Each structure stands twice: as structure tokens, then as C-alpha cells.
Structure 1
Amino acid sequence: MTTLVVGATGATGKQLVEQLLRMGQTVKLIVRPTAKIPETWKNNDRISIIEASISQIRVDEMIAYLSDCQSVASCLGHNLNLKGIYGKPGKLVTDAVKLLCTAIQKSSPDKPIKFVLMSTTGYRNRGLRESISIGEKLVMGVIRLLVPPQLDNEKAADFLRMNIGQQNKAIDWVVVRPDTLINEECVTEYELYGSPIRSALFNPGKTSRINVGNFMARLIVESSLWDNWKGQMPVIYNKRS
């Protein structure tokens, strides 16, 4: 199985790629021409690297890149600096999701392509009417105004929920929502929930990036796990000791 990964050189994207390789998968990466690519990736026969800015890829080009892929995973995010937060492209994640979905649907695959999108517990799944406190609503409103990437992440997940939906013939999807991301060396036990069990702002949990990568890779590889979460937005926390 071949998976197209975007956002592969980010802190979580690297973990996803390594987990896919550990599970015997082949990966195709779209990375910025200026991205720092691990040397071990350059010499790996199971990795194909496409150097391109995803915001400049045309639909017909993306169709070609997807021609031998059975799954797609996005760990795209904005760099945490002034240019990354307030510069262009402001809708990096949303536009990439739309591009990928358009290309998948125009390619008319024989069976649905799996699409796994990394999001955040700061996104509320309105399809489940997930409730938050008034205080959290006020703070999130301010964050959306002052930190554009938050709104970008929300619109990307909303596009899958509302525009692709549950019965699309070309695309099946899962949106993975980690809480506060931390770095750990090894995969540890983690817990999965259909909705957040704590406040992302006032009582956040922790999720290691390697655990996010492991869960996203398992969704792609393990059919039973995929069937369990298809069309949903699971929340992942590191298991509490």
C-alpha cells in the first residue's frame, strides 16, 4: 500500500512517515523545495519524494501524484513564527484538503481512498454538537481572530465533514484530534475517544507526536481500526498513569 503524505517534514509528519515505514508501507511525500529531508529518507527505496509547494500544485498534477496511492495523510500546519501565522498562504491546510479531495474525486478510484487529517482538540465537531463552556467559546472566538491557523484547521475539518460527508464514493476520511503535543522517543499507550473528555483550553491533556503518528499509520494499515473510526473525529490522549 502506498500513502501520499503532505506535511511530512513537520514534527508530527516525520513521526507518521517513520511509523508507516515500520509497518512495511510505501510512502510518497510532497515537501517544500526548502524543506530539510532526513538523509535516511533520500536513500530509502520505499520513499518517493516530490519537491513542490502544495499551494502551487495543479489538480492534474495532483491526480498524477495520487495515481498509485490508496491513502492520503495530512500533517500540514503553519510554522509558529510571524510569517507562518500571518503570512500567505493563510488557508494552507484547507486549500490542500480541497485540492487533494478534488484530485481524488476526478481520478474516480475503484474503491474509496482513505484520507487521514491531523487536526486538534481545539476544533469542535459540530456534527456531534460537542458542547463547550461559555468561557471557552469566548476565548476560542478571540483565538480565531488573532491566530488565523486555528480557523484554517477548523475549515479543513469542516470541509471533510460537510462537503465530502459520509457517503462519498471516492473518499473515506478520519480526522485525528490530538491535545497538547509533546515529544517522546517511543510509542506509549494512548486512549481514544469520540469527543474530547476535557477542556482543550482550561484542562488540556497531552499527546505525544509519535503516538499521533502511530495512530494515523494504524488507521491506514489496520482495516478493523479504520472501520471503527471512519467518518469520525477521534480524540487521542496519552494514557494517564
Structure 2
Amino acid sequence: MKVLVVGASGATGSKLVEQLLSDEHQVKAIVRSPEKLPESWKTNDDLQIITASLLDLSDIEMSEIVKDCHAVASCLGHNLTFKGLYGKPRRLVTDATKRLCDAIKSNNLKSATKFVLMNTTGNRNRDLNELISFAQKCVIGLLRLLLPPHVDNEKAADYLRTQIGQNNNAVEWVAVRPDGLINEDHVTDYEIHQSPTRSAIFNAGKVSRINVAHFMASLIIDDTLWRQWKGQMPVIYSKSELA
């Protein structure tokens, strides 16, 4: 299987690349600064490193990149700096999601391509009646005003829900919603839920980036798991953080 990973040099994206390679799959990774990548990546025949800024690629270039990929995974996010939070592109995740899906559709492949988006528990799945408290609604409203990346995450998932939908012949999707991300060295037990089981604002759980990467890779590789979560926005928590 061949998988395109965008945001591959990030803290979670790099874990996903490593997971896919360890499972002996082929990976394409789009990165802006290849000099920062591990040396082991540069000598791995199963990894194709594409040096580019994703949104600067032409439509033709993007279509060519995705045409032989069985799946696309986006671990894109905004850097936690003033420029990263408030500078351009403010719709990095949304614009990348749209352009990648357009590229997939342009190739008119015989079977649908899987698209896995890393999202956040701070974003509700509006296809479901996910109830949150009035206080959390107020905080989320402030985040929309003060933090452009939050709106970006919402718009990216909304695009998949409303524009790609549940019956698209070219693209099938899952938007994975991790709670508070932490760093761990090894995959541990984790739980997947259809909706958050705790407040993302006032009682947040935690999940390791390596667990998120493991779940995203499992979705891509395991067709039974994919069918279980296709068109949904599953929430992931590390089990040790649920108490």
C-alpha cells in the first residue's frame, strides 16, 4: 500500500510515517525542510520525500502526487508561534484538505481513496447531537474569535462532512479527534469513542501522539476498522489518562 502523508515532519506526522514504514508500506511525504528529517528516512527506499510547500503545488502536480496513493493522511497544523497562529495561511488545514480531495477526484480512479484528517476534540461533530455545556460553548466561541487555527480545524472537518459527504465515489474519509496531545515513546492501550466522553475544555483527557499515529495507520491498513469509522469523527484517548 502507498500512502501520502502531509505534515510528515510534525510531531504526530513523523510518528505516522514511522508506523507505516515499520508495517512495510510505501510512503510519500511532503515536507518543506527535508534537512530536518532523520537520516534513516533519507536512505529508506520505501519513503519518497517531496520537498515542497503543499499549497504552492499546482493542481497538476498535486494530482500526479496522489494518483498512485491508496490513502492520504493529513497531520497538518499551525505552529504555536505568533506567526503560526495569526499569520498566513490561516486556512492551511482546510485549504490543504480541499485541494488534496480535488486532486484525488481529478484522477477518476476506479476505487475510492481513503482520507484521514487529524482534527481535535474541541471541534464538535455536527452530524451528531453532541451536547456540550453552556460554559464550553462560550469558551469555544472565544476560541473562534481569538485563535484562527481552531476555525481552520472546524472548517476542514466541515468540508469533509458536507462537501465530500458519506457517498462520494472518489474519497472516503475519517476525521480523528485526539484530546490533549502528549509525547510518549511507545504505543500504549487507547480507546476510541464516537464522541467525547469528557469536556475538551474543562476536563480534558490526554493521548500520546504515537497512539494517534497508530490509530491513523490502523484505519488506513485495516479495512474492517475503516468500515467501522468511515464518514465519522472518532475521539481517541489513552487508557491510562481516562481515570
The alignment's TM-score, normalised by the length of structure 1, stands at 0.98
Aligned equivalent of 1:18: 18
Separation in 2, partners of 1:16, 1:33: 18
Which residues in structure 2 correspond to 1:35-184 (within 5 Å)?
36-184=36-184
Shift of 1:183: 0.4
The alignment's TM-score, normalised by the length of structure 2, stands at 0.97
Query: Deviations along 1:15-73, whole A, 9 cap, x unmatched?
Result: 11111111111000111146621111000000001100011111111010012111000
In structure 2, relative to structure 1, the CA distance for the partners of 1:10 and 1:163 (3 Å cut) is: same
Separation in 2, partners of 1:52, 1:13: 16
The number of aligned residues is 241
Corresponding residue SS for 2:12:
helix
Which residues in structure 2 correspond to 1:208-227 (within 5 Å)?
208-227=208-227
In structure 1, list runs of 5 or more residues that go unmatched.
Answer: none
1:4·1:71 contact (CA, 8 Å) conserved in 2? yes
Amino acid at match of 1:144: R
1:9·1:35 contact (CA, 8 Å) conserved in 2? no
In structure 2, list runs of 5 or more residues that go unmatched.
Answer: none
Corresponding residue SS for 1:79:
coil
2:181·2:209 contact (CA, 8 Å) conserved in 1? yes
Separation in 1, partners of 2:206, 2:27: 28
2:191·2:239 contact (CA, 8 Å) conserved in 1? yes
Separation in 1, partners of 2:129, 2:34: 41
Corresponding residue SS for 2:214:
helix
2:32·2:52 contact (CA, 8 Å) conserved in 1? yes
Q: Percent identity?
A: 59
Query: Deviations along 1:97-138, whole A, 9 cap, x unmatched?
Result: 000011111111110000000000001001102111110000
Moved over 3 A (4+): none
Separation in 2, partners of 1:57, 1:137: 37
Amino acid at match of 1:53: S
Separation in 2, partners of 1:201, 1:238: 17
1:33·1:53 contact (CA, 8 Å) conserved in 2? no
Q: Please give the root-mean-square deviation of Cα atoms over the aligned residues, in Å.
A: 1.0
Separation in 1, partners of 2:62, 2:205: 36
Shift of 1:144: 1.1
Separation in 1, partners of 2:157, 2:217: 19
Aligned equivalent of 1:29: 29
In structure 2, relative to structure 1, the CA distance for the partners of 1:171 and 1:35 (3 Å cut) is: farther
Separation in 1, partners of 2:33, 2:209: 24
1:219·1:226 contact (CA, 8 Å) conserved in 2? yes
